[in-house]
Structure 1
C-alpha cells in the first residue's frame, strides 16, 4: 500500500500552458480568415494578383490545420482552448471561402448550403453525444477536408479555361464525400447514444 505522505509528495502532471505553439498557430489561422476574405473581395474574383494572394493565404491557413493538431498531440499541448478554437477556425476559413465563391457566382449556392449544413450538423452531433464519448475523425472526414481544400484552391487560382473546368468536378467529389461522411457521423452518433443508454 502506498504511503499517503509519499503519495502526497508525488509530482503532479504539469498543466499545459494556454500560450503554446499549437494554440498560437490556431489563433494565427483565425486571424488569417478576415485577411483571406479581404483579398478575395479586393480581387472581385477577377484580378489575378489578389486571387493568387488569396489562394496562397487559404492554402497556408489550411496547412496550419494539420500542423497545430500534430503539434498538440505530439508534444502533449492539447488544451480546452485548442479543442474549441481549432474547429471554429477550420469552419470559419472554409465557410468564408465557400460564401465568397458563391457571392461572386463562381460556385452554386446550393453547394455552399449543403457543405455548411453538414459541417454545422456534425458539430451539433458531437455536442449531442459528448457525454457518451467522442466521435473520432474518420478517414472519410480527412478525405472530405482534402477535397474541399483542393476544390476551393482550384476555384481561387486564376487558371485558364481548360484547367478551370476541372474545378467543378473536384467540388462534386467533395460534396459527395461531405454528404456521405455526414450521414456516417449521424449513424455513429445514434449508435453511440443507443449503446450508452442500453
Structure 2
C-alpha cells in the first residue's frame, strides 16, 4: 500500500482535539474572511486579503509539522487538511476568475480535479481507507499557493502610485501567470496519479476487504 494510503485507525488513541486540527479548523474559518476582504474596493482590504491568505496558507505547513513531530496525526486531520486546502485555494481561484485575472476554464479544470479527488477520498474513507496527500499532491499545493500569492498582489496599486511602475508591475503579473500555468500542469498531473492509485485501490479492496484487514497497522 502506498505511503499516503492507510487503513482507518479505528482504535486510534490520539484525540482529534489537538493543536494541528485546531489550525486546520482556523484555516477553514479564515476562508470567508479572505473572500469578504477580496471583494472590497479599498486597496487596504486587498492587502489585508493577501495577509489573511498567507496566514491561512501558513497554517497548512504548521499543522502538518506539529502533527508529525508530536505524533498527533489523526484521520480527521488527514481528511480535513486537504479539504481546508481546497476551500482556500478554490475560493481564491474563483475570485481571481470573477475579477478577470484568470480565465474561467483554468478555474474549472482545477475545480474538477480538486473536487473529483475529494469525492474519491470520501469513497475510500467509507471503506475504511484513508488516502492522504501524496508527494505530487504536495508539489501541486505548493505551486497553487505560490501562484495565488503572486496573483493576489494588487499590482494595479503600484500603477496608482506612479505610472512609472508599470514595467516591473507588468513583469510581476506575467511571472504570476507563468507560475499559475505550472500549477495547472502539476494539478492535472497529480490528479491523473490519484486516479490511477484509486483504480488500483479499488481492485485491491475487492480482493482484500477492509473487514479482513482491520488489524493491519
Matching residue within 23, 27, 35 for 1:25: 23
Question: Are 1:121 and 2:116 matched, yes or no?
Answer: yes
Counterpart of 2:186 in structure 1 is 177
Moved more, 89-98 or 126-135: 126-135
Counterpart of 1:97 in structure 2 is 92
Q: Aligned partners of 1:190 and 1:132: how far apart in 2?
A: 16
CA spacing shift, 1:173–1:132, aligned 2, 3 Å:
same
Moved more, 152-161 or 77-86: 77-86
Counterpart of 1:59 in structure 2 is 54
Secondary structure at the aligned position of 1:42 is classed as coil
What value does the CA root-mean-square deviation take over the aligned residues? Answer: 2.1
- Alpha-carbon deviations, 1:125-155, whole Å to 9, x = none? 2233343743342221111001100111111
Q: Aligned partners of 1:141 and 1:80: how far apart in 2?
A: 18
- Alpha-carbon deviations, 1:99-122, whole Å to 9, x = none? 111111111111111111101111
Q: Aligned partners of 1:81 and 1:196: how far apart in 2?
A: 22
- Structure 2: any 5+ residue segments left out of the alignment? 1-10, 156-168, 208-217
Q: Aligned partners of 1:138 and 1:40: how far apart in 2?
A: 31
Secondary structure at the aligned position of 1:134 is classed as strand
- Contact residue 79 and residue 130 of structure 2 kept, 8 A: no
Matching residue within 134, 141, 144 for 1:145: 141
Greater Cα radius of gyration, structure 1 or 2:
1
Which ranges of 4 or more aligned residues in structure 1 deviate by more than 4 Å?
none
Q: Deviation at 1:63?
A: 1.3
* TM norm structure 1: 0.83
Counterpart of 1:76 in structure 2 is 71
CA spacing shift, 1:14–1:194, aligned 2, 3 Å:
closer
